[in-house]
Structure 1
Amino acid sequence: MGWPDLNLSSSTQVTLCVATGCGVVMAGLLTLRQLKKWRMKGKKTERRKDVVYLHGFQRMKFTPSLSGPCLKVETWLRMAGVKYEFVDASKSGQRSKYGQLPFVELNGTEIADSNIIIQRLARQFNADLDADLSPEQQAVALTISRMVEEHTKWTMYQYYFVDRLDLFTQLVGLPGPRIIHWLIRNRVSKMMQTKLYHQGVGRHSKTEVYQLGNADIRALSALLGDKPFLMGTKPTTVDASVFGQLAQVVYTQLPSPHRQVIINSCDNLLDYCDRIKDQFYPDWELLCAEGH
């Protein structure tokens, strides 16, 4: 049976054919993904007592994770000396009860959301990195974390996932033929534009967004000064939060307004990131090699 005669022009018919083909491909990919999830759910993986199983996005060749929240939790686990194992969610197909990453498993219990994860694990393992901070310092640390996670992060997303998604996907690599790359980029861009709009950052022009983000970067640099860590001589939870976001800018080496301002006028943040990486990730290169 051929294409039905709908009195359409040849160019329109070609467009419909391409659109139909793309739809079939996407449906196939979604079906395969769902089958993978069902298959993984059927497998029982033995979990050891008192070991944290951190579910996160796959390793990448420049950073252990391109997700700020995932890298935040992993960095905190290392700072706190909590034993953990990493679970590649791209292979398991698992997500938290909120449909997000990261989440952790501990003794049969799932804990989701990076902030709640850290709070629960700090109590469970008596590993409160903020125990020596004064109430005022704790308030400052919380304010910094909120700025980075609820504002600075979104200005970065505007650049990486909307304005220069083409560069970003070239950097991380995408599977399959070019048409699949286009479909993925188009879907990610539209999804992120919607999120940015509802968050508020996406309602501004690109120039305004970058100015807002760079103001945050300069504020972080001023707060850090010449201290080893944001709250003094010892790392605290806020350092894990800030490192999780800044590492995406510093180590992916993708040109961006945020990276430019760090290099040009906030180089103490470069030293800060290197200090955390060297102290808590002696295996950084090995982890990144898993993403090749």
Structure 2
Amino acid sequence: MSSLVAEAVQAELGAYEPWPDNACLYQPYQVEQITFPDYANCLSVKTFLHMCGLEFHTEVRTNAEEMSPSGKVPFIHVGAFLVSELDPIIAFVNTRGFQLSRDLDEGMKSEMRAYMALIENVMVNAELYLAWIDEAVSEEITKPRYGYIHPWPLNRLLPWQKQSNVRARLNSVGWAKKTMDEVCDEVKTCCQALAERLDSKQYFFGDKPTELDALVFGHLYTILTTRLPVSRFAEIVQQFSNLTAFCTRVEENFYKKYGRDF
């Protein structure tokens, strides 16, 4: 709770300062170290900042997770403030006068938040399940990447500890004992809901992106482009042509057009 209060105070104080030229986003090394659930979170935040038109540069650190005020990546360093994870970063950025959903009425904002909660409750848990619970992905990809920077025996112990923590989190919400088929059913239901909401629109609430668009892109693009021993999530997303077209559109409009790296 104290961490949430601190972040709220940081956001309140941040309203009195302009966005600096040297804003920085911290994340683990992308090629060797980052796990794909963390990559999805980092990509969501980057996309949100790009959609707001805010300048920042990315710093990679082997100990980014330990540096983060919440112990999770990514986090941003803006002036005197450190803020981690998408929701607190959105709140912080809003205090600076940048709000993607400012044109939505209260009903639409409530709907947007409901879809963002759906991503958190389904996609995030599914990604954690695939990364840490599925044996093939965990042993071949996630654990070696998570332990990459550490010498033996830490490169074995720390991934095991992280896996235990993830299992406890998933167990608390009833996901740890799901079968892969059940998890895939959850992912498909989530994608169906997103596809129906998007329909033929450019973005989820019309012709301008909102926070939901940044969040969805971060997770779906990661699922579509990450090479894993198990490809069932990507195969599910590919069944929804408007979702894959949406990912291509966001990639073009906020990355390729400006020569930005992911």
TM interval, short-chain normalised: 0.7 to 0.9
Which residue of structure 1 lines up, in the alignment, with residue 138 of structure 2? 165
What letter is aligned with 2:102? A
Query: In the TM superposition, what is the alpha-carbon distance from 1:110 to its structure 2 partner?
Result: 1.8
Change (3 A) 1:179 1:49: closer
Confirm whether residue 277 of structure 1 aligns to residue 251 of structure 2.
yes
Shift of 1:73: 1.3
**Paired AA for residue 191 in structure 1:** N
Shift of the 223–286 alpha-carbon distance from structure 1 to 2, 3 Å rule, reads closer
Q: Which has the larger radius of gyration?
A: 1
Instruction: Pick closer, same or farther for the CA change 1:192–1:251 going to 2, 3 Å.
Output: same
Conservation of the 8 A alpha-carbon contact between 1:68 and 1:245: yes
Counterpart position of 1:97: 69
% identity of equivalent residues? 21
What TM-score do the two structures reach when normalised by structure 1? 0.70
Aligned length: 238
Q: Deviations over 1:192-231 (max 9, x none)?
A: 2222112322233332222122211111112111111111
RMSD between aligned residues: 3.1
2:229 is aligned with 1:257: no
Gaps of 5+ in 2: 1-18
Q: Which residue of 1 aligns with 2:14?
A: none
Map 1:4-153 to 2 at 5 A.
49=20, 51-60=22-31, 66-90=38-62, 94-124=66-96, 126-153=97-124
Task: Using the TM superposition, give the Cα deviation of residue 177 of structure 1 relative to its aligned residue in structure 2, in angstroms.
Answer: 9.0
Q: Per-residue displacement from partner, 1:76-112 (whole Å, max 9, x unpaired)? A: 1101111112121326675222222222222112223
Counterpart position of 2:170: 196
1:245 aligns with 2:219: yes
Report the TM-score when normalising by structure 2. 0.78
Kept in 2: contact 1:154–1:196 (CA 8 A)? yes
Q: 1:211 to 1:186 in 2, by over 3 A?
A: same
1:210 aligns with 2:181: no
Structure 1 residues 92 and 128, CA gap change in structure 2 (3 angstroms): closer
- The CA distance in 1 between the partners of 2:52 and 2:141, in whole Å, is 32
